[in-house]
Amino acid sequence: MRSLLAARLALPLAVAVAVAAPLGAQVAAAGDSLTVARIFSSEFSTRGVGQLRWVEGGTAFLTVDPAAAGRGREIVRHETATDAKRVLVTAAELTPPGDTVPLAFQEFAWSDDNSKLLIFTNTKKVWRLNTRGDFWVLDRATHKLTKLGAGAPPSSLMFATFSPDGSRVAYVQGNDMYVETIADGRVTRLTNDGSRTSINGTSDWVYEEELGIRKAFDWSPDGKRVAFWHFDASPVRDYLLINDTDSLYPFITRIPYPKAGTTNSRVTIGVVAAAGGPVTWMDVAGDTATSYIAAMEWTDPNTIIVQHLNRKQNQNDFWIGDATTGKGKVVFTDRDDAWVDAENQELRWIDHGRSALIESERDGWRHVYRIGRDGSGVRRISDGDYDVMSIAGVDEKAKALYVMASPDNATQRYLYRMPLGGGKAVRVTPASEAGQHSYNISPDGHWALHTWSNAATPPVSELIRLPSHQVVRTLQDNRQLKARMASILTPPTEFFSVKIADGTSIDGWMIRPASFDSTKHWPVLVQIYGEPAGQTVLDSWGGSGALFHRMIANEGYLVVSFDNRGTPAPKGRAWRKSVYGAVGVLSSADQAAALRALAAMRPYVDTTRVAIWGWSGGGTNTLNMMFRHPELYKVGMSVAPVPDQKLYDTIYQERYMGLPQENVEGYKQGSAINFAEGLQGHLLVVHGSGDDNVHYQGTERLVNRLVALGKPFELMVYPNRTHGIFEGPGTTVHIYSLLNRYLTEHLPAGGR
């Protein structure tokens, strides 16, 4: 990345604080003279398709394009087969009365009959995303543009959603539910207890972060009722973020944050008439402060299905209840000795709602199962010793199922087609397009927006026919960027596998310097993540992160990465869940063994000069490698780590480690802080003090531990930055320049 010069301030006990100097001269890298500033400018940005929405079953789609007049954006309808275009909504129609500037909108939605358009604008961040803002409705017949929530404060509405007939909109304001009639602006308040700890229609912090739940309500299919989630967050303790810089005196932001082993919000599902009235609460068995409501949806106008996950997250009960009485029963249960991936168990309804498709690992691989609405007739659809990574689409008329999988290469993803009744899967993605693929398949299953890339190819987006995969037209190919990158991406990123002592095959990639000479021994920088939440070894376009590693390589390093056991690679349940109860232990052993195995294969790998870096879980595992294997790793750069697993949130940490009260030894062995006495090399720890996800508290505890041990290290704190450490002018360039500077200072570059 960028190489900004920085100074160090020596402190007692050999602790140093890394202080980066003001932005100054950029140190150019070899090859194409990449710098951090160039990498994180717009010079290498890719272009995509944007908000493509299928309509009319797939015979047409919508895009948001710049307005012909040059001000604002308009919504354009494209005939799928011919690309005949027609502007459906002009920028002028999206200009509020009395204003001259069209609305700058982030999202849009159509009513079911396409007579009205809902626009989301002026958005504000809540937890992770901008989910609060203003909503406007455009009546296409009258061209009238109306702002919802008359009299409400700006940017105070959340998740506005049309009723099935398009006459009303439901939304959340101030943690209460409302329904507004579009024709006359009449507002009906559905709940009255909304507060900071009583949350209706949206979620608390941990449900959003770990279960992906934000919009937490749903219209009934007949539009007569609204089902919603209610969170009683009063049992959850606040984590206090202290802001020391933005006012004369510090102030505090309170985040209700349940740490591992503590009490969660109590969550219930309520049903209320859209016209208002008493709430019927669904009688899901068990205390939902010690379990989770992982999903909820209507199956018909009077029936709701709820996914009820136990606290250990190894049992997911599918509970079906009567929306009028609140009574119901469990019709299907998915279990696992480790954990159930409930966040990936979205039901895909088929056969007019009589059956559903669901993914499960119950036979050792992630496969698709078909179950009856009453839980009967459970039958596996996909077959074989491979993982279905996700359901991509269904063509019921052709009785075909589309899934994403990669049986032969865990670094890639492809589209496969199989009979909906079960049978052999056939690859649809052409063999000539190696890499990572994604598909936005039309509702009728005849078309798809196909986007693919690999380490040498920026994203290509094209419209294809299914099942032939015939390209109808290319929508964006980033051709100019690819041509500009040709000289930069030399030598190419190499993907490989190594076998460690117990026979396990570990995937990896390597970027070599432009000046590489195989007769020399080269220092190594390892990029690590290593947690169950993600892979680093993926054959896809890496963007600015990959360019940063390319710049480091050209300075005279081998840059490598490995996916250890426990990462979510398509290698079977045993691979992914082997780390259960001991996250951090097996992953550390795998990483060290993989590096040694690579050095045995490649004599030019210098194991006496090894550095490692990572962010979040990668920051955690950087600490693990520095503390547990100091004989191998000489320099570590740990960004936003979790040194003590007990400090992270309930849902994530307990999913992979169990409850801390029941797995005391596992949490002890899995937490890097307990092995800090092993530190021998150079360590830089970086954190944002405003991180509401991975708290700076953990880094402060690590500092105390290292100080007590008399261990030298360096610390860089970015005031009030969140987990991504990007807020504020110059921050991104600053942090990557710091990492580059620290590496080159403590692990000299170049072959020997």
Q: Are 77 and 62 in contact (CB under 8 A)?
A: yes
Chain mean position to CA 518: 38
For residue range 621-637, what is the model confidence (pLDDT) as tens digits? Answer: 999 999 999 999 999 99
Indicate the pairing of strand 355-360 with strand 348-350: antiparallel
Closest residue by Cα to residue 457 from 424, 428, 431, 493? 493
Asked whether the predicted pLDDT for residue 342 surpasses 90, the reply is no
* Residues 620 and 591: beta-carbon distance below 8 Å: no
* Residue 583 phi, psi (nearest 5): -60, 130
Q: Which of 87-101, 162-176, 343-357 has the highest mean pLDDT?
A: 162-176
- Pick the more confident residue, 495 or 130: 495
Architecture of domain 6-45+484-746: 3-Layer(aba) Sandwich (3.40)
pLDDT at position 240, please?
Answer: 97
Would you place residue 289 in the very low, low, confident or very high pLDDT band (cuts 50, 70, 90)? confident
The conformation of residue 184, written as its DSSP 8-state character, comes to T
For residues 53-79, average pLDDT = 91
CB of 76 closer than 8 Å to CB of 86? yes
- The partner residues of 487 in beta bridges, in order of sequence, read none
Query: Given phi > 0 = left and psi -120 to 50 = alpha, else beta, which region is 446?
Result: alpha
Is the peptide bond preceding residue 603 cis, with omega within 30 degrees of 0? no
Residue 652 is inside which H or E element, if any?
helix 650-657
What confidence tens digit (pLDDT) does each residue in 440-497 have? Answer: 999 999 999 999 999 999 999 999 999 999 999 999 999 999 999 999 999 999 999 9
Tokens of 299: 């199956």
Cα–Cα distance, 534 to 536 (Å, whole number): 7
Q: CA triplet 580, 582, 588: central angle to 5 degrees? A: 115
Over 60: is that where the pLDDT of 525 sits? yes
**CA dihedral for 718, 723, 727, 729, sign (positive or negative):** positive
Residues 247-264, mean pLDDT to the nearest whole number: 96
Tell me the mean pLDDT in the region 93-98.
Answer: 93
Q: Which tokens go with 71? A: 């001000």
Query: CB atoms < 10 A from the CB of 75, how many?
Result: 23
What's the whole-number mean pLDDT along residues 158-178?
97
Candidates 548, 584, 549; CA nearest to 565 is 584
Instruction: Report the pLDDT averaged over residues 341-348.
Output: 85
Domain segments of the chain as ranges = 6-45+484-746
CB 132 within 8 A of CB 123: yes
Q: What is the pLDDT of residue 32?
A: 58
Q: Whose CA is closest to 382, among 419, 336, 340?
A: 419
558-563 and 522-527 strand pairing: parallel
| 3-state secondary structure (DSSP) of residue 645 | helix
Tell me how far apart the alpha carbons of residues 291 and 286 are, in angstroms, rounded to a whole number: 8
Report the chain's C-alpha Rg in angstroms.
27
What mean pLDDT is predicted for residues 115-143? Answer: 93
- Which of 400, 377, 402, 382 is closest to 391 using CA atoms? 402
For the residues of 472-538, what is the DSSP string, one character each? EEEEE--HHHHHHHTTTT-SPPEEEEEE-TTS-EEEEEEE--TT--TTS-EEEEEE---STT--S--
What pLDDT does residue 19 have?
Answer: 35
Say how far apart CA 253 and CA 629 lie, in whole Å: 38
Phi-psi region of 99 (alpha: psi -120 to 50; beta: other; left: phi over 0): beta
List Cβ neighbours of 274 (8 Å cut-off, separation of 6 or more): 163, 168, 170, 179, 188, 190, 219, 223, 224, 225, 226
Contact 137, 184 (CB under 8 A): no
Q: What is the pLDDT of residues 202-229, one digit of tens each?
A: 999 999 999 999 999 999 999 999 999 9
pLDDT surpassing 50 at residue 4: no
Q: How far apart are CA 482 and CA 475, in angstroms?
A: 16
Could you identify the residue written with the tokens 């992953």?
Answer: 587
Which positions ≥6 away from 625 have C-beta within 8 Å? 526, 528, 588, 591, 592, 612, 632, 633, 636
Percent of the chain with pLDDT over 90: 91
Share of the chain above pLDDT 70, in %: 95
Does the pLDDT of residue 20 top 50, yes or no?
no
Q: Which of 115, 104, 52, 117 is nearest to 73 (CA)?
A: 104
Compute the average pLDDT of residues 378-401: 96
Q: Of the candidates 241, 11, 20, which has an alpha carbon nearest to the alpha carbon of residue 742?
A: 20
pLDDT digits (tens, 9 = 90+) for 414-450: 999 999 999 999 999 999 999 999 999 999 999 999 9
Beta strand spans in 361-489 (E): 367-372, 379-380, 388-395, 400-405, 414-419, 426-427, 436-441, 447-454, 457-465, 471-476
Q: How confident is the model at residue 387 (pLDDT cuts 50, 70, 90)?
A: very high
The Cα–Cα gap between 512 and 267 comes to 51
* Range 252-266 average pLDDT: 96
Q: Which tens digits make up the pLDDT trace of 551-605? A: 999 999 999 999 999 999 999 999 999 999 999 999 999 999 999 999 999 999 9
Mean pLDDT of the chain: 93
For 570, the token pair is: 């398509």
pLDDT value of residue 344 = 73
Cα distance between residue 641 and residue 64, in whole Å: 39
